[in-house]
Amino acid sequence: MGTKEKVKNQIDEMDDQIGVWEARIENAKAEVKAEYKEKLAALKSKRNDVKAKYDELADATEDKWEEAKDVFSSASESFREGFGKLKSLFD
């Protein structure tokens, strides 16, 4: 699987996780909902940044994708850390 496909899979996973957390937030207590929504909004912004870069490189060669791999890896790690923080609020 090439870098482009891996990034697309990561974006799909981000979308899935966002959907799960949106549902969980709806069931949260009113006094903490705002904080949850704020953290989720930050994660959505990170996801949108990754998607924008993905779209920018959509027609690029595999070499260009390899060059951008570190950028996507860093963004993905940041996203995972953000979800970890959000999850810790529910624990």
Give the pLDDT mean for 26-55. Answer: 86
Tokens standing for 32?
A: 């903490």
pLDDT band, residue 12 (cuts 50/70/90): very high
pLDDT band, residue 16 (cuts 50/70/90): very high
pLDDT at position 21: 86
